[in-house]
Chains A and B, each alone.
Chain A
Amino acid sequence: ETGVTQTPRHLVMGMTNKKSLKCEQHLGHNAMYWYKQSAKKPLELMFVYNFKEQTENNSVPSRFSPECPNSSHLFLHLHTLQPEDSALYLCASSRISGGAGTDTQYFGPGTRLTVL
């Protein structure tokens, strides 16, 4: 499935660096999501965007700053991260994020982030 792409696939950064993760979906969806997957912990939803508007912020620290310029692109800007932020960051998209009925999420391959 190449409907959702993420770049870069791997990223190593220092705690003082600023970097960005990019997600692009080619499925015509209107909702996009950022998830964090840490070792030994459940997948955690971070942010949800519907039609470019943020509809969910799951108490994420301000050192993670999302940006959704249009329904096809989603960014996660990173600054002054901590080593405990090292994780796999997954992007997903779906037709919509709310309301009744089935709405399958399609995931990208993820960015493996290591903070030194």
Chain B
Amino acid sequence: GIQVEQSPPDLILQEGANSTLRCNFSDSVNNLQWFHQNPWGQLINLFYIPSGTKQNGRLSATTVATERYSLLYISSSQTTDSGVYFCAVGVNFGNEKLTFGTGTRLTIIP
């Protein structure tokens, strides 16, 4: 099956810093999503981005499908950004066979 690798596994930053999280995948995909899981376990979808670039406030994501990677940018980090960021990919367009990465644990220090 498709392999998903995320880096770095852990990231500790001061409040206000910027960060870049990376997701590499082993095969062509039609579905790529980024999720944030807060310290209490709540998982929230951030982006659906199988290709191209999207922005939502301080967060943006870029997927270069031909080179099989996606990047999540977080600018002006806040303590509420702490948690684990997951990338999930799928060969199909839908959600039936999403494969998740192991995540990047981000800790923002005040």
How would you classify the secondary structure of chain B's contact residues: helix, strand, loop or mixed? loop
Bound-state Cα–Cα, A109 to B93, Å: 25
B33-48 toward A: CB 8 Å interface, digit per residue (1/0)?
1000000111111001
Among listed B12-20, B55-63, B64-72, B100-108, interface-contacting one? B100-108
Is A96 positioned at the interface, with any CB of B under 8 Å from its CB?
A: yes
Q: For chain A residues 58-116, which have a beta carbon within 8 Å of chain B?
A: 88, 90, 92, 94, 96-107, 109-110, 112
B4-38 toward A: CB 8 Å interface, digit per residue (1/0)?
10000000000000000000000000100100000
Bound-state Cα–Cα, A104 to B43, Å: 12
Residue of chain A at shortest CB distance from B93: A100
Q: A42-B101, A43-B100 are in contact. Are A48 and B93 (CB under 8 A)?
A: no
| B103 & A42 in contact (Cβ 8 Å cutoff) | yes
Q: Give residues in A with beta carbon < 8 Å to B.
A: 1, 31, 33, 40-45, 48, 55-56, 88, 90, 92, 94, 96-107, 109-110, 112
